[in-house]
Structure 1
Amino acid sequence: MSRRKIDKLQSMKPLFYENRPKEMYIQLKNQTEPKVNSKVLKAALIRRGSEAIRRMFKLKECEPYFNILYMKGYIGDEDHERLKIQKKLQELELTQLAMEAESFKKGWAQTFFPVCQETTMNEALRRRIKSIDDRKDQHSKQWSVTDI
């Protein structure tokens, strides 16, 4: 790959913000004093996997819209290229996660991804319930009758 192309790829803004669960997992894994419990590492790996699956869902959800916008000329080549690069990065992340899961226990990757997917869905449901509760509180304040 040419130096110019590498510089261009590095200068592109990512589609997603930083991946905090991934950073946290790597920090915990590299921590030597005090030694991190394996259950904590597994939980951090599941959080990392959950974030990777959430991002993959978002990419799959948005891809048709990106393609339509690109075909109609509303977004440029750079944005379309960013989508393709992000998809490849997420596929690499999932591969790394499978290897990490296998390093904990042989065959864990088979059950690891369903657990991560369930975690992702539970978090999404939790966010929706919280937003409904927030809206309910907001509307009840707005429509409450004050003393006359």
Structure 2
Amino acid sequence: MASVWVPVLYMFIVFGGLAVFSYIYRRNARTKSLPPYFPSHAERNAYVTLLGKTDPPASDALLKSALVRRAMADVHRVLRLREDKMALQALLQKGSIGDDLWNSFLAAEKEIEAEIMEVVAEANTFVEGWGQVIFPTANEMIANEKMRSLFESVEETKQTLALKYGIPPSGGLPALTLAPPAPQTPSKHSDGDASSDGESATSPRTPSKSSAKKGKKRK
């Protein structure tokens, strides 16, 4: 009779231990804090610090600038989440990543939604309706910064290549200096022709002898 209860007791101990272990593991997994998907929000911390200053208080211009910088950081995070979502979903389906990373991503999405609403509310405290345009403004500023960094990198590349290949920094071909042609001195023959032409053009014609005789006969 005892031999019948031994395997039953053994199975009860094994399955009971597994159930207790699973319960404890799940409870610890729920209570364990998820690793943050993004690092600390430095721009938000800077804005909150400036907003809390009272002696002396921060100016509105400084607070607005800090709020725009905060919105720009939020735009960067939104773009990062959009880029990573499809890749994380594919990796999660393949089993390449764990649920902890996916849960961290979902928590980051909820956090950025709350952050955007908070920025919009803060912008409306300065100017009514500014919350509707602060993120488009942040988008434009990000695009301008990208263009400026692109131009700066092009200039740095040009300088590096100029130093590498020994090209002068100014570049291009040397400027050509064109001197005006020297005035031509007229020859003696041309002077004579010009003077004779001038005299024939300006001096009156002297009457001939035949015309003088005809004049006498008429008289």
Q: Is the 8 A contact 1:21 1:47 kept in 2?
A: yes
Cα offset, 1:82, TM superposition: 1.2
Cα offset, 1:67, TM superposition: 1.0
Matched, 1:80 2:102: yes
Q: Which residue number corresponds to residue 118 of structure 2? A: 96
Q: Is the 8 A contact 1:53 1:117 kept in 2?
A: yes
User: RMSD across aligned C-alpha pairs, in angstroms?
Assistant: 2.2
Cα offset, 1:74, TM superposition: 1.3
Q: Is the 8 A contact 1:70 1:76 kept in 2?
A: yes
Matched, 1:144 2:144: no
State the distance in 2 between where 1:4 and 1:72 align.
Answer: 22
Which one-letter code corresponds to 1:111 in the other structure?
Answer: V
Seen in structure 2, the aligned counterparts of structure 1 residues 88 and 102 have a Cα distance that, compared at 3 Å, is same
Q: Is the 8 A contact 1:51 1:120 kept in 2?
A: no
1:92-128 Cα deviation digits (max 9, x unpaired): 1101101111111221111212111112222333334
Residue correspondences, number: 141
By relative contact order (CA 8 Å, sep 6+), the higher-ranking structure is 1
SS of residue matched to 2:86? helix
Seen in structure 2, the aligned counterparts of structure 1 residues 126 and 70 have a Cα distance that, compared at 3 Å, is farther
Q: Which residue number corresponds to residue 36 of structure 1? A: 58
Name which one, 1 or 2, has greater alpha-carbon Rg: 2
Which stretch shows the higher mean deviation, 116-125 or 96-105?
116-125
Query: Is there any run of 5+ residues in structure 2 with no aligned partner, and where?
Result: 1-26, 167-219
State the distance in 2 between where 1:74 and 1:129 align.
Answer: 40
State the distance in 2 between where 1:91 and 1:56 align.
Answer: 9
State the distance in 2 between where 1:133 and 1:16 align.
Answer: 33
SS of residue matched to 2:58? coil
State the distance in 1 between where 2:120 and 2:28 align.
Answer: 31
Matched, 1:15 2:37: yes
Seen in structure 2, the aligned counterparts of structure 1 residues 68 and 126 have a Cα distance that, compared at 3 Å, is farther
Task: Give TM-score, length-normalised by structure 2.
Answer: 0.57
State the distance in 1 between where 2:50 and 2:105 align.
Answer: 30
Percent of pairs with identical residues: 28
Seen in structure 2, the aligned counterparts of structure 1 residues 3 and 73 have a Cα distance that, compared at 3 Å, is closer
State the distance in 1 between where 2:153 and 2:37 align.
Answer: 24
Matched, 1:5 2:26: no
Matched, 1:56 2:81: no
Q: Which residue number corresponds to residue 125 of structure 1? A: 147
1:107 to 129, 134, 137: 129
Identify, as 1 or 2, the structure richer in helix. Answer: 1
1:68-106 Cα deviation digits (max 9, x unpaired): 111111111111111111111111110110111111122
